[in-house]
Structure 1
Amino acid sequence: MKVTLYKYIGILGAVLMFSACNKAFLERPPLNQVSEVTFWNRAEDVSQAVNGVYSQLGGVPIHDEGATDNAHAQYPWESYATQLSAGSLTTNVEGNWNFIAIRRCNYFLENADRAAPVLDAALLNRFKAEVRFLRVYFYANLVNKYGDVPLLTSTLAIDEVNVPRTPKAQVVDFMLTELEEIATLLPEEYTGGTDNQPGRITRGAALAMSARINLYEGNWTAAAAAAQRVMALGYSLFTISSENELDRPDNYAAWVDFANEADSINFKMGLRSYEGLFHQANEGNAEVILDRQYIPQVDANSLNTFLPAGNMNGWSSVTPTQSLVDAYDHYRTGMPIVPVSREQRATWYSSQDARFSDEYRNRDPRFYATVLFNGAPWNFFRENFVFQWAPGASNMSQTGYNFRKLVDPAAFRARPVLDNHANGILIRYAEMLLTYAEAANEESGPSAAVYAALDLIRRRAGMPPVNRVVYSSQQTLRNFIRNERRVELALEGHRFMDIRRWRIASQVMVDIYDLNNSVAQNRTWNDRFYLLPVPQSQIDLAQGVLTQNLGY
């Protein structure tokens, strides 16, 4: 039986009652802890405590895409993204203001040394480095959403809970210093066995997180350098060399004008490699730097429920926009496509004109691996399945499209039908290549190394290399890189920060329409939405010590 990192995550909750905390300001200490005398006396206690911290890692933040031009999140009870994109976000929304995970980290780091008599010193130091990374990861998510946040490096006594927000720059300095230190304490990989399971935090994860934080902060030199250090560690883009028997019946010759058989194979391998990266059968591949692991038959990532259409036993919770569809380049030329007008598309759609389908022809293989559009074949999902939008039906998309990416069709083939238990990839090698390309281009413009990094991603997708003539200046290459990030990392949560750090949200957060040219969502952007509001309930609990972000 496969040993997974989260085998014991439930044990810690029973032992330490960490999850007994509610969401009161900065998570006041629980009143029902076990005796301090009876814990930390065994090596197993420390191991289980570490796994309890890992359990706080969230999955792929698909709902964040609904607060961008990539997707529509149609159910306001699932996330704040629906209200944020509509411009109706208020201070009553709790959002991501949550310090439970950080408190777990601090509690562990304060107490782990008590196990020194029963635990190997090197293992103890590595455990502490893993938890320090996780604390940085949790803080990075808070800073990205709220800016200034209270920086806590120890658990608080009952009379210490009202802590003011720390300036963002100070929190960022703390995170980057932590990552640089713990990178030297973490291994490049794990060999397996107890406390050495693949999936734990590695040196690559620490360096990759440093690259991401520096990129978001516009520290181009540091971001490029950290990404290069990751690129030297031996990660590679996931690829496959043949289709399986369930994929083979999909007739993509109806959608792509293949020049010959070799061209057809190139296209299919690009599509299958990209979508297969996220399937359970290929989890733990050489592209994965950090993932949230799920235990088969025990806990599910719910992506097979959130993303498919109602007639596919899903909810259509998060669905692609026409804007995302338009972002995928032409397969043959590698150049952007020119979309038709909304009015023309609606006319062709309603009259069943054959020209309606032309927009979906000869597109980047990643388009076919990411978006379910009218006429999209997917035999692996169901024998001879072809997607058709059913407007107005229960749990159907409001845009006319559904996501195929991150949905694992093997689960639908199982008997009985299973949920999706594929690990959620939180950091992967393709992100680092894009980070390096963006940072290096912003620092000094196009270079052979920047083009080479981008070409690796394009080649895996089956796309032509970057056109060095068309994208020869810093500005033109900047635009190319930004679009490449959009299509490569779609639905993985990156677009939320990208449109904010590039300050383009006011340009792209516009009304979205369905295939009938009916409004799917009216959107209103206000610059206060570059940061989320601190929940008013937390300000009240803090007796005014916490301050609100501007504009709320």
Structure 2
Amino acid sequence: MKKLIFNIVFLVTVAILSGCSDFLDRESSAYSSSGFYKSEAAIKSGNEGVYNCLYMEIAYAIPFNISLDHYTGMALERNENTTIGAGGALNPDNNEVKTFWTKLYTLVARANSVIYGAKDYIDGLSPTAHQYLAEIKVIRAYAYYNLIATYGDVPFFTAPVTIEQYKEKRTAKEEILDFILTDLEECASDLPWIATERGRVDKAVAYGLKARAGLLGGSLNYGGKGSDYFRISAEAAKQVIGQRSLAQNFDDLFNITGQAKTDVRNEMLWELMYSGQGTKKTHVTGFGQVSRNTGQTGRHPSMLLADIYECIDGKRIDESPLYDPRNPQKNRDPRFHSTLWMQGDTVTVNNGSLVRQIIEAYEIETQFYDFSNNTWYKANNADINSSAAWASFCNAGVGYIWAKFSNETAENISAQTCNIPLLRYAEVLLTYAEAKIELNEIDNSVYEAINLVRNRVGMPDVSADRLGNQAKMRQLVRRERKVEFALEGLHHVDMRRWGIGDLENGQPSYGLPLPDIRYEGLASTDIPNFKTSDRADLNDIPNYDAYKDKLKVRDRNRFWDKKFELWPIPQLERDRNPNLTQNDGY
């Protein structure tokens, strides 16, 4: 994929020439040809080009939404104090800031070229062509949602850009949001409830994205209409509830074998599709986040995330008698084990052949399994003793490895074809619950939505002390979103919606016990404090001050500034369009 370096105005005009897929390169001249989009076949071709532009990689061969969670307190890049979630790296010249902007506007430009090109032929088009156009409008809405959620007010185009629009100013995010919500509602009538071709947009996706967008406007009180947006969100989610269902096994959602199951297909409303057949499309998500014994390590989960998972009794670790600091992975919400690996875990990964090992954070050797004779043996532990050990989960990381998308035995994690979720039915359920909670309309439908998600993994129902209590229900639904959707990119916006960037990112990152202490050296009272303030308690933000001297620490200079609530407008864009104002503080 060619790297686009053009500014937004020039990019919209020449998107048809710069290309974001082989298909688009082949058909580029036709995109600007008058009268091209007057047939179902032509619109289908344009539709395919728009879908191809969803592969918006911010880092090499990593789906964009995987990267996004690493710009929050839930995860860490391996170099200290460089994450764009906080600190000096979040600036107008940051490459990720520019890349995400450019790729989102490339997607908008592709969509606009087809929608506008077909407008004069709408009445004579087939129902299938109308469906293709509806899909494109949903995808355009998705691009604009990400733009306003990340950058705030942005240039807004619904047609190919004219010369006069080259110096367009930013449009208010409220106006763009209202356009998104209207467009998604109108698109739904031309879409089936479940797409016949996996990976395509359908009615459930249109309403699911409408619910997601409404939650953004409600949480940030866009235009002073927060309650109205929460109402829109709840009603849109309600349209989907009952039309789809959850997968039976949470783990099946994140590996190639599980994703072949019908129940998983039912939950995965919308996916980035990958394939090892024909024109191959692969990613390396697992390879870039595992032990150095089986791959590389560039991204790590934080202990802030790890300590949010409840114990199996449904209580937070500071409130549950089941929690043991010496064995923190025991008696935990099963999603802990599905999402995270840590010291002492036995894991099996396919990196061209099956490798089974015991995760070891302290010793230069660890145990590996010999599948040829079914025995264990000790060998060098690359996480401790290798030239790249500095980047491992216990050195650059804080003691945890991403199991999600890494727990793969059927295909090589250096060329994965498992799909990446963009929207799951579980999100619709929790979005409905959150919107209703914010409206203080807490009834059985809210408890049922949350219980479906919790019960799927064996967690207990909403506890009696939460029933009817808005603050406690708000805390629970936020906790559920964090643990259910970790590494799926949703927290990138959730952190901003909830206004908790300072809580997550305003302190150093703590982790596993130091080598001279280890887990067995922790006291039973070495448990994080979640109650340093009402905000910290509400949002499950742990504090480690009472025993921080026993723990690994990194990001000592990490800080949060209010301006980080939005990403900056890329400086390159402002250099070429002086009418693009900058977000406050940059």
What is the TM-score with the length of structure 1 in the denominator? 0.80
Aligned to 1:156: 161
2:290 equivalent to 1:308: yes
Residue 41 (structure 1) shift = 7.5
Counterpart of 1:29 in structure 2 is 13
Q: Where does residue 226 of structure 2 map in the other structure?
A: none
Question: Which deviates the most, 397-406 or 202-211?
Answer: 397-406
Instruction: For residue 385 of structure 1, give the secondary structure of its aligned residue in structure 2.
Output: strand
Listed as ranges, the gaps of 5+ residues in structure 2 are: 18-27, 56-62, 219-228, 362-382, 515-550
2:48 to 47, 51, 61: 51
Question: Which residue is 1:473 aligned to?
Answer: 469
Which has the larger strand fraction?
2
8 Å contact from structure 1 (residues 149, 168) kept in 2 = yes
Q: Any residues of structure 2 matched to 1:131-530 within 5 Å, and which?
A: 131-191=136-196, 197-218=197-218, 219-233=229-243, 235-239=244-248, 273-283=249-259, 285-297=265-277, 298-314=280-296, 316-331=297-312, 333-338=313-318, 357-379=326-348, 382=354, 384-389=356-361, 390=383, 393-397=389-393, 398-412=397-411, 419-470=415-466, 472-509=468-505, 510-515=507-512, 516=514, 517-522=551-556, 523-530=558-565
Distance 1:383 1:64, change over 3 A: closer
Identity %: 29
Residue aligned with 2:158, SS: coil
CA contact (8 A) 2:451 2:462 kept: yes
Q: 1:221 to 1:29 in 2, by over 3 A?
A: closer
1:312 Cα deviation after fit: 1.5
User: What does residue 69 of structure 1 align with?
Assistant: 73
Instruction: Note the C-alpha offset of 1:158.
Output: 3.6
Check whether the contact 1:21–1:29 (CA below 8 A) recurs between aligned residues: no
Q: Could you tell which deviates more after superposition, 489-498 or 437-446?
A: 437-446
Partner residue, 1:263: none
- CA distance in structure 2 between the aligned counterparts of 1:29 and 1:418, rounded to whole angstroms: 36
2: distance between equivalents of 1:81 and 1:63?
14
Partners of 1:70 and 1:459 in 2: CA distance: 24
Structure 1 residues 432 and 486 mapped into 2: Cα distance closer, same or farther (>3 Å)?
same
Q: Structure 2: how far apart are the matches of 1:174 and 1:165? A: 15
3-state SS in 2 of match to 1:519: strand
1:24 to partner: Cα distance: 2.0
Separation of aligned partners in 2, 1:455 and 1:339: 20
Instruction: Tell me the equivalent position of 2:132.
Output: 127
Of structures 1 and 2, the one with the larger relative CO (CA 8 A, separation 6+) is: 1
Q: CA RMSD in A?
A: 2.7
Q: Give the drift of 1:53.
A: 0.4
If the length of structure 2 is used for normalisation, what is the TM-score? Answer: 0.75
Distance 1:393 1:467 in 2: 44
After superposition, give the CA deviation of every residue in 1:171-205 in whole Å (9 maximum; x if it has no partner). 001100100100111111233xxxxx222110000
> C-alpha displacement at 1:324, in angstroms?
0.8
The answer to whether the 8 Å contact 2:115/2:133 transfers is yes
Q: Distance in 2 between matches of 1:507 and 1:141?
A: 23
CA distance in 1, matches of 2:459, 2:12: 52
The offset of 1:338, in angstroms, is 2.3
Counterpart-to-counterpart distance in 2, 1:107 and 1:302 = 32
Spell out, residue by residue over 1:440-460, the C-alpha distance to the aligned partner (whole angstroms, 9 max, x if none): 111125322111111111111
Deviation readout 1:265-300 (Å, 9 max, x if unpaired): xxxxxxxx1121121223361101111111225111
Call closer, same or farther: CA 1:405–1:339 in 2, change over 3 Å: farther
C-alpha distance in structure 1 between counterparts of 2:291 and 2:3, whole Å: 36
Aligned residues: 473
Tell me the secondary structure at the aligned position of residue 114 of structure 2: helix
Letter of the 2:292 partner, please give it.
G
1: distance between equivalents of 2:38 and 2:217?
Answer: 42
In structure 2, the residue corresponding to 1:295 is in which secondary structure?
coil
Looking at structure 2, the residues matched to 336 and 87 of structure 1 have their Cα atoms a distance apart, in angstroms, of 33
CA contact (8 A) 1:327 1:483 kept: yes
| 5+ residue gaps, structure 1 | 1-12, 14-18, 192-196, 240-272, 341-354
Q: Write the mapping of 1:65-104 to structure 2, written as runs, cut at 5 A.
A: 65-74=69-78, 82-94=83-95, 95=97, 96-98=100-102, 99-104=105-110
